[in-house]
Amino acid sequence: MLKMPQTNLSAYNNSPYAPGGSALKRVLWYYVNLMFFKSAWLPVKGIKVSLLRLFGAKVGRGVVIKPNVNIKYAWNLNVGNHCWIGEGAWIDNLVMVTIGNNACISQGAILQTGSHNYKKTNFDLITGPITLQDGVWIGCGAIINQGVTAASHSVLTSGSVASKNLEAYTIYQGNPAIAVRTRIIE
């Protein structure tokens, strides 16, 4: 009987990945994120925006960040003007996440810039930036995977999973997300 190769997590080597920032900066951000973003006790958006900027994020005017938001690394975040980031959203930005103007990330949505190569025995890390262009809406509980660009005013409906780019002014639904209709704004 032919023995098939197996995953060997003890061989995992994350050394090629560099998250940016010093070890001290990463530790400080971990606690700032825990106390001010992942918690519900500080609903004041201005303080959150100031903290993001202090840690190297680029954040525009009029950004609303609700409670219980998890942001992996502030310095890998670029947010345009008048964006909304809903309760419980997770921005797992191992590499850059760019969010255009007037974009909405709804409650519980996940933007994940990292995954693993399931074809390799040592389960190598795979990363890719995420770009949400102007006017994009990511619905409740939806997931955007690494390397995806959501073009201008595209919509990913609640609970849907995008592993490929989304076309402008198109509404996507399902897992995997497929185009279901054109977005018409009146």
Domain CATH for 114: 2.160.10.10
Q: Is there a domain that residue 110 lies in?
A: yes
Q: Is there a domain that residue 4 lies in?
A: no
The percent of residues in the chain predicted with pLDDT above 70, rounded, is: 99
Q: Is there a domain that residue 78 lies in?
A: yes
Cβ atoms of 146 and 126 within 8 Å: the answer is yes
Cβ atoms of 83 and 99 within 8 Å: the answer is yes
List phi, psi (to 5°) of 130.
-120, 135
Q: Is there a domain that residue 5 lies in?
A: no
Q: Is there a domain that residue 157 lies in?
A: yes
Buried b / exposed e over 31-67, threshold 16 CB at 10 Å, is ebbeebbeeeeeeeeeebbebbeebebebbeebebbb
Could you give the CA distance from residue 28 to residue 87 in angstroms, rounded to a whole number? 23
142-163 pLDDT per residue, tens: 999 999 999 999 999 999 999 9
Question: Using CA of residue 155, residue 159, residue 165, residue 170, what is the dihedral sign?
Answer: negative
For the segment 55-73, the average pLDDT, to the nearest whole number, is: 97
Tokens of 47: 């303080």
HSE, side-chain direction, 13 A CA sphere, residue 170: 14
166-184 pLDDT per residue, tens: 999 999 999 999 999 999 9
Q: Is there a domain that residue 12 lies in?
A: no
State which residues form the domain around 116. Answer: 21-182
What global pTM score does this model have?
0.94
- The count of structural domains within the chain is 1
Strands (E), 133-169: 137-138, 143-144, 149-150, 155-156, 161-162
Task: Give the SS3 label for residue 52.
Answer: helix
Query: How does DSSP classify residue 33?
Result: I
Q: Is there a domain that residue 2 lies in?
A: no
**Averaged confidence pLDDT in the chain:** 95
Q: Is there a domain that residue 123 lies in?
A: yes
